[in-house]
Structure 1
């Protein structure tokens, strides 16, 4: 485990401010239980300050912890050693990132036995993630059964997209029977960044149209009209859409049939190929954009091709979502690649001047830690770099429900 932040202020550790249903407690623990790791952050919502953060990795692997339950107990013990234990009266609630909410969960939800059972029914839609999310909820409930536990769903922000964008053009009876539709992911990030972009522009989110480009190892785009998502690049699963670190993104569905019939590959082998051996990794053997940039500088043609395929897909989605929105006020880059790769940002928007998009090369090259504009003065479309903060967004939703 590693702890990244400690800004603890113990002057009000018992939580004495008026906090409605929380009895004055103001701390929120945010848990992100992934397939092989548990990330956590403890925040004091009285001033939205991070008290601690950390991660337990290599769950189920040699040298790591046995399972998610042990990982969460280890995180709890580490917090207690630092005087931030889960038994503290200052702790108001626990917020959980849950990847898939299906059509059932379209907003943050207080966890009950019934809610947990419904989340478990969604496991077939997210078999790698929802089981870990569920374990995190169960263990947290065991550790503090008296606390409000809140599930915040990756898919919720995208639940507003119209049926024309959500539906795939397949037999509707089959689609409805198996829950096949566009759900979208990274929703908490897209919601946070679209609102933060409007704030950067000094405008009401309800008056701003934003294209958000969340570019990490997983990558997705969304079209947000007046604070409401109207389209997104990921679909039934996080495989669809942009080129990612190890995922293919958009691909002709018949490729799967071809690989099965001609290549003799099994369903599991094709699944592994498209999710874990494709994207940047499949194109050039590296899924880290920094490494790809270094290799491009040395004249590596495979790295150059991977980069070009990556930004070509980005440019296509920017154009498509411009058409969907009709009017674009801002384009926001976020997450690891989006926040740190000036080369990706400028290449993705190169040639789109006719759409009112003009990147200032000097501003784009300047590194910074906060939200900033990189578009040229007078550009009709603002281009921004906006660091995402999914944990803070989850904490805000959790605290609001806990106080209700």
Structure 2
């Protein structure tokens, strides 16, 4: 099946063309609408993709959509009702859903005869039970304003958990895997038999692990204090916690490679940042071991998870009593399995492939 996967941002379109699992073409149209950019607008960007890529015989287009609320628990064929629902969910993802809607509108206009499918980052986490997705606040507020844990990076967690089970020769239907998606954005997920039962990101991608520019978990009183006592407007606080926090806020740099280098040189700020980053991961691993009642594997993925032996080792150090051990030579060479033979809990490194997962979900929907 020939499927074009589109990830539309506010100023970019990332694309990848598949024939079943084989990649036929991929690329990025960026700085859309900017002086000297690749395209004047999103329609021009899509026209450029169509000019550069052979779309003859295209079977479907798959669109990454960040937020599906509680309305979408799986990939869904796009129609006017779906578009209206995603538009209604814009307040839950004001930076991401509008861009996805633009990509959908342009692709439907330029490829009217080709089925279009939306694949939602949040859909995988719809299996989290109510006690894991509900916040302990006034239910009148919860119901009126759609406040709950939604979770994100769903396509990555789904793909990596399944690939971990395959790697270890475990039945996917029973495997218990803790997946750690560590990139500039980072999240943890507890996967039980292919179903998400807990995840670190919440109503937005701000909570949970420490990230490149996002704070992760903090006491909400920090926001009240900065507003009431420091006199900062809500917009400035939001901007600080999303764009100037995390590793950026702790060290002045959000590139983990640079922070690690400073850490190795004995830099105090970098040392604190790495210690905090890895401790938060360790805390979530412990919590998810409890939620799952034990795990078959802990799997690192995404840019930092796949490429940083130091972060992997530091995050799981001291957990030998829980059956979690890393084999240093395997870890250093980024082997797929970095735990010793016979370890009670396997520790793995599995590259993520969100575009391939999206294409797979599109093919599954259309085969029905």
| TM tier relative to shorter chain | over 0.9
Cα distance in 2 between the residues matched to 1:107 and 1:214: 20
Cα distance in 2 between the residues matched to 1:364 and 1:39: 31
Q: Find the partner of 1:348 among 303, 315, 339.
A: 315
Cα distance in 2 between the residues matched to 1:63 and 1:255: 41
In the TM superposition, what is the alpha-carbon distance from 1:169 to its structure 2 partner?
A: 0.4
1:101-116, aligned counterparts within 5 Å?
101-116=68-83
Cα distance in 1 between the residues matched to 2:318 and 2:45: 48
Cα distance in 2 between the residues matched to 1:62 and 1:271: 28
Give 1:57's aligned residue.
Answer: 30
Does residue 44 of structure 2 align to residue 70 of structure 1? yes
The answer to whether the 8 Å contact 1:29/1:41 transfers is: yes
Give 1:32's aligned residue.
Answer: 7
Does residue 258 of structure 2 align to residue 291 of structure 1? yes
SS at match of 2:59: strand
Cα distance in 2 between the residues matched to 1:319 and 1:60: 46
In the TM superposition, what is the alpha-carbon distance from 1:76 to its structure 2 partner?
A: 2.2
1:177-192, aligned counterparts within 5 Å?
177-192=144-159
Name the count of aligned residue pairs: 367
In the TM superposition, what is the alpha-carbon distance from 1:72 to its structure 2 partner?
A: 2.3
In the TM superposition, what is the alpha-carbon distance from 1:388 to its structure 2 partner?
A: 0.5
Give 1:324's aligned residue.
Answer: 291
Deviations 1:93-131 (A, max 9, x none): 000000000000010000001111111110000000000
- In structure 2, stretches of 5+ residues that fail to align are none
Give 2:17's aligned residue.
Answer: 42
In the TM superposition, what is the alpha-carbon distance from 1:305 to its structure 2 partner?
A: 1.1
SS at match of 1:282: helix
In the TM superposition, what is the alpha-carbon distance from 1:133 to its structure 2 partner?
A: 0.6
Cα distance in 2 between the residues matched to 1:60 and 1:346: 43
The answer to whether the 8 Å contact 1:68/1:132 transfers is: no
Does residue 337 of structure 2 align to residue 376 of structure 1? no
* Alpha-carbon RMSD: 1.1
The answer to whether the 8 Å contact 1:119/1:130 transfers is: yes
Q: Find the partner of 1:137 among 101, 104, 108.
A: 104
TM-score by length of 2: 0.97
Moved more, 59-68 or 119-128: 59-68
Cα distance in 2 between the residues matched to 1:401 and 1:230: 23
In the TM superposition, what is the alpha-carbon distance from 1:67 to its structure 2 partner?
A: 3.4
The answer to whether the 8 Å contact 1:92/1:399 transfers is: no
The answer to whether the 8 Å contact 2:334/2:349 transfers is: no
Cα distance in 2 between the residues matched to 1:358 and 1:218: 26
Cα distance in 2 between the residues matched to 1:325 and 1:259: 37
Cα distance in 2 between the residues matched to 1:154 and 1:60: 26
Cα distance in 2 between the residues matched to 1:355 and 1:158: 26
In the TM superposition, what is the alpha-carbon distance from 1:297 to its structure 2 partner?
A: 2.4
Give 2:142's aligned residue.
Answer: 175
Q: Find the partner of 2:62 among 71, 81, 95.
A: 95
